[in-house]
């Protein structure tokens, strides 16, 4: 029987390791990737890896921003959008929570939003710098909110919306983050992957009133009841569907390797799926070779001590 601690550690390390595992394969189509058995921090010699100057086992913007969120939550004791936005800007400018303090992968929308914030745009508005932007940049980092949160489902949903506003203000991004957080919460409670997802959808439908724009977005843009067919792309709905698809796996390793095998936004898909797979399968199911070779993990220990 997995303990709550096992699941929380699995979720946090599962996100970071999935991200790091996907970094060398980013921007490649699935036809150009090595076979599942060869997907490791260090790809086969014949494979031209992305971010060639980045050492194997290094998490990217996904992991760093997730740690910024966790750090903010633990420091403030609540979801404080001003504090969180400030930490994201420190990451962007100075490499806060980035391995070796080096920022090497920044989404266009995130960069523009943080520049707008640094120029005086309130964090409630900075994420609308691209009004129709529906990238996955807030979904990839939101998991620590679910790992930390002790409030009601509605409070968790509202905080998931809030953290998204800083860089990805579109309502589609907010709803995807809310659904993901409820899904993670149900997994922490011990439900199966499919049961947890169905319960999260039902819970979100109860929270959103049927005449609200949030309910409309859930039903007509995200379409949570449709079969999960994802392509590993950067569109937030596709990222959510890709995670659902690869989580029909037997263990953590299979889930994140299947996420990477989709190609394109490999690190983010593996981070999003890896966090949930880590919760469901538990920390001990994550291959020790990946945990032991993850760079920068020592600085996460202080956050884990505070979290527990």
The residue among 81, 77, 70 whose CA lies nearest residue 167 is 81
Is 1's pLDDT higher than 90? no
Q: Which residue has the tokens 């790091």?
A: 20
The proportion of the chain whose per-residue pLDDT surpasses 70, expressed as a percent, equals 100
As a whole number, mean pLDDT of residues 214-228 equals: 96
Q: Kindly report the pTM of this predicted structure.
A: 0.97
103 Ramachandran zone, left/alpha/beta (phi>0; psi -120 to 50): beta
Residue 168 tokens read as: 């990805």
As a whole number, mean pLDDT of residues 64-89 equals: 98
Tens digits of residue pLDDT in 224-268: 999 999 999 999 999 999 999 999 999 999 999 999 999 999 999
Would residue 40 count as lying in a domain?
no
Would residue 223 count as lying in a domain?
yes
Would residue 136 count as lying in a domain?
yes
As a whole number, mean pLDDT of residues 73-92 equals: 98
Q: Is 265 annotated as a binding residue?
A: yes
Predicted local confidence at residue 267, as pLDDT: 98
Tens digits of residue pLDDT in 169-187: 999 999 999 999 999 999 9
Residue 9 tokens read as: 């550690």
Domain count, the chain: 1
Q: Is 83 annotated as a binding residue?
A: no
**Helix (H/G/I), strand (E/B), else coil: 223:** coil
Q: Are 151 and 75 in contact (CB under 8 A)?
A: no
Would residue 183 count as lying in a domain?
yes
As a whole number, mean pLDDT of residues 133-159 equals: 98
Predicted local confidence at residue 238, as pLDDT: 98
CA dihedral 21→24→30→35, nearest 10 degrees, is -60
Q: In whole numbers, what is the pLDDT of the chain averaged over residues?
A: 97
Q: How far apart are CA 176 and CA 268, in angstroms?
A: 14
Q: Are 114 and 92 in contact (CB under 8 A)?
A: yes
Q: CB-side exposure of 76: number of CA atoms within 13 Å?
A: 18
Q: Is 6 annotated as a binding residue?
A: no
DSSP letters for 99-152: GGG------HHHHHHHHHHHTT--HHHHTTSSTT--BSTTTTT-HHHHHH--S-
Predicted local confidence at residue 265, as pLDDT: 97
171 Ramachandran zone, left/alpha/beta (phi>0; psi -120 to 50): alpha
Q: How far apart are CA 279 and CA 85, in angstroms?
A: 27
Would residue 43 count as lying in a domain?
no
Other C-beta atoms closer than 10 Å to the C-beta of 194 total: 11
Q: Is 60 annotated as a binding residue?
A: yes
DSSP letters for 275-301: HHHHHHH-GGGS-HHHHHT-TTGGGGH
Range of the domain at 106: 4-34+60-307
Would residue 55 count as lying in a domain?
no
Predicted local confidence at residue 92, as pLDDT: 98
Q: Is 62 annotated as a binding residue?
A: yes
Predicted local confidence at residue 257, as pLDDT: 98
Q: Are 22 and 269 in contact (CB under 8 A)?
A: yes
Kindly indicate the confidence band of residue 112, based on its pLDDT and cuts at 50, 70 and 90: very high
Predicted local confidence at residue 97, as pLDDT: 98
Number of helices (H), then strands (E), in the chain: 15, 0
Would residue 211 count as lying in a domain?
yes
The proportion of the chain whose per-residue pLDDT surpasses 90, expressed as a percent, equals 98
Handedness of CA 249, 254, 256, 262 (dihedral sign): negative
CA dihedral 147→250→227→15, nearest 10 degrees, is 30
As a whole number, mean pLDDT of residues 104-120 equals: 96
Q: Is 100 annotated as a binding residue?
A: no
Phi, psi of 300 (to 5 degrees): -80, -20
26: CATH: 1.10.4080.10
Is 140's pLDDT higher than 90? yes
Q: How far apart are CA 137 and CA 96, in angstroms?
A: 17
Would residue 267 count as lying in a domain?
yes
Q: How far apart are CA 184 and CA 190, in angstroms?
A: 10
């Amino acid at each position: 029987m997995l303990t709550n601690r096992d699941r929380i550690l699995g979720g946090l390390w599962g996100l970071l390791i999935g991200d790091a595992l996907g970094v060398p394969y980013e921007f490649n189509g699935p036809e150009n990737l090595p076979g599942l058995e060869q997907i490791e921090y260090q790809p086969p010699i014949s494979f031209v890896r992305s971010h060639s100057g980045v050492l194997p086992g290094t998490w990217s913007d996904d992991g760093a921003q997730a740690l910024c969120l966790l750090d903010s939550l633990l420091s403030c004791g609540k979801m404080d959008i001003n504090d969180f936005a400030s930490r994201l800007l420190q990451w962007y400018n100075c490499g806060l929570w980035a391995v070796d303090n080096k920022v090497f992968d920044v989404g266009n929308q995130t960069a523009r939003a943080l520049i707008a914030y640094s120029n005086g745009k309130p964090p409630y508005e900075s994420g609308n710098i691209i009004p129709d932007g529906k990238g996955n940049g807030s979904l990839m980092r939101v998991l620590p909110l679910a790992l930390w949160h002790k409030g009601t489902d509605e409070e968790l949903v509202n905080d998931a919306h809030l953290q998204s506003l800083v860089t990805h203000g579109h309502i589609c991004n907010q709803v995807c983050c809310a659904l993901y957080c409820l899904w993670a919460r149900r997994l922490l409670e011990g439900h199966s992957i499919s049961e947890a997802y169905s319960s999260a959808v039902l819970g979100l439908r109860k929270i959103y009133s049927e005449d609200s724009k949030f309910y409309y977005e859930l039903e007509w843009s995200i379409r949570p009841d449709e079969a999960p067919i994802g392509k590993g792309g950067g569109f937030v709905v596709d990222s959510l569907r890709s995670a659902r698809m690869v989580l029909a796996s037997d263990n953590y390793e299979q889930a994140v390797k299947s996420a990477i095998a989709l190609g394109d936004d490999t690190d983010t898909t593996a981070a999003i799926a890896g966090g949930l797979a880590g919760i469901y399968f538990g920390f001990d199911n994550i291959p020790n070779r990946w945990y032991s070779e993850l760079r920068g993990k020592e600085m996460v220990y202080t956050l884990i001590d505070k979290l527990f």
